[in-house]
Amino acid sequence: MSVALGRIEGMDNLSVTLDDLGRALAPIVATAFADDALRAAGDEELLAVVVAAGRMIQSAQALMIDAVAHIDGRADHVAHDERLTTRTGCRSLSELVQRATRVSKRTAADVVTAARAVSQRMAISSGEILAADFPAMRDALANSEVGVDGIVAVAGALRGCPGGVAGVLAADTELAASARGTGADGAPPACAEDLRAQAQIWALYLDQDGQEPREARAMRKRGLTFGICRDGLVSVRGNLLAEVAAQFQRECDSVLNPKLDGPASPGPRFTDAGGGGAFEADGALGSEGSFVPDSFDPDGIQPHRADIRTRAQKQHDVFATILTVAAASGTLPTLGGAAPTLVVSVRAEDLAQARGAAHIDGIDEPVPIGVARHIGCAGSITRVILGDEGRIVSLATDERVFNHHQRKAISLRDGGCIIPGCHIPASWCEIHHVVEHARSGPTHTDNGVLICWHHHRTLDTSGWQIRMTNGVPEIRGPAEWDPRQQWRAVTKAPTRRHDIMARRN
């Protein structure tokens, strides 16, 4: 398909020309999808399509950024009621971009940031056209050599940098060359992340004011924001002070690093020398069996990582554990006269039948029913019965929280999270009702076991099973961990280990 486009005679024709390009491109894309044309393409052709599409995106972004820059600049010269944002019913320029382009709020904010970085604004007093804050990056944008992400990466690091105008312009020139691939080092064109890293180095170089101003800026820029819930996830953005990040990293290390007496990597596997004795989840000898290294497995237990989470997933779960421990500590300020409490609502019949969805106070999107079951297992449930017209006709609370005496006793018995290979200490664990409270399971030491947030949250899907036999917790692991699928008594308490070793000897 070919499209003949005449020379643009003026700005009035630019939008028409772009619309013609879009209309010409749409059937090409539709035909490619309908025919699955790219399936038979070679690797080189696929890469060429990605490169060409990326160049088109950058070209379109350049025009969009320039248009947004002019919309923003004109707002300085007209009354509030005459601004385009006001006339279109938008609260801000970012909202205008979001509605006009149907991009996300974050992307719209980036477009506005990029527009202000390369805008050539008009002086209110003289009408003079002023130079852009980043003229070299503007030139790279005009030639489709950088896009929104690249402009934002540079502007975010250098805007307001105390190195002076000359220093920022020097950085702008070098970074634009890097974006084009014409830098002194001869490197290929830099992507947005490379530009961000290089700009941050420039910012450090230009900061000649010492540590105190840098600390003050860090205090101003510190922050943590949460996005809206999408597909069960809430995005997190922000900047942590160095010591806060270091403290969190230390806590991650303390929870995630395997102890020296733990099982050999990649995880625990059981070898049963006597046909079904007790076992020690932390690597100590059981009465009739023991863990063995990866290199030898006479019982045919297949190698299996007990924990297959990524580092990022593990750190998320540490964060969840810290929040849970802090909320249960009793040291946080009260909220509405009570300790900070996560409120989850669910229909009683849905909870009993493990179907439907639940709702968390403060989150618009419904959450899986498993979330309510997990939270309800370790917390109290208030049963509210509503009449046909919505009136509250009954209110009752089921106390299902293990008291501190029971927790101490269970901690003494279990020693920590009872899942093999997990090293979360007792003080950081939740107490799981082995027989659910909803199925008449008592809040009793014979029905409670220590389990960490992660294993509690994934107990229904991970393959681990727990039961109590005469008040002693027993574990049956996934088939790849133990093909024999035997129930095995488990404890990590030092005193229980000592007793087991004494009986064995």
Question: What was the pLDDT predicted at 479?
Answer: 80
Stronger pLDDT, 5 or 46, i.e. the higher one: 46
**Residues belonging to the chain:** 505
Q: Which of 216-225, 364-373, 376-385, 492-501 has the highest mean pLDDT?
A: 216-225
Region for 344 from its dihedrals, namely left if φ exceeds 0, alpha if ψ lies in -120 to 50, beta otherwise: beta
In this prediction, residue 477 carries a pLDDT of 85
Q: Is the pLDDT of residue 439 over 60?
A: yes
Using CA atoms, how far residue 24 sits from 17, 29, 439, in Å, is 11, 9, 63
Helix, strand, or coil (residue 426):
helix
What sections of 102-241 are H helices per DSSP? 105-118, 135-142, 148-158, 164-180, 192-206, 211-221
Would you place residue 341 in the very low, low, confident or very high pLDDT band (cuts 50, 70, 90)?
low
d(CA 342, CA 208): 47
Interval 86-108 mean pLDDT: 92
pLDDT of residue 292: 33
Instruction: Please write the tens of the pLDDT for every residue from 181-227.
Output: 998 888 899 999 999 989 988 887 887 554 445 667 777 888 888 88
CB within 8 Å of 165: residues ≥ 6 apart: none
pLDDT band at 284 (very low <50, low <70, confident <90, very high): very low
Spatial distance between the Cα atoms of 114 and 254, rounded to a whole number of angstroms? 41
If DSSP codes are grouped into helix, strand and coil, which group holds residue 366?
coil
* pLDDT value of residue 267: 40
What is the reported pLDDT for 304? 41
Does 4 have pLDDT greater than 80? no
User: Residue 184's pLDDT is what?
Assistant: 84
Q: What DSSP element (H or E) covers 96?
A: helix 93-101
pLDDT tens-place string over residues 106-142: 999 999 999 999 999 888 778 789 899 999 999 999 9
Mean pLDDT of 335-358: 66
What rounded mean pLDDT belongs to the chain? 77
Q: Is the pLDDT score of 176 beyond 70?
A: yes
Given a cut of 50, is residue 281 above it in pLDDT?
no
Would you say residue 296 has pLDDT above 50?
no
Q: For residue range 312-328, what is the model confidence (pLDDT) as tens digits?
A: 888 888 888 887 777 76
Average pLDDT estimate for 29-46: 92
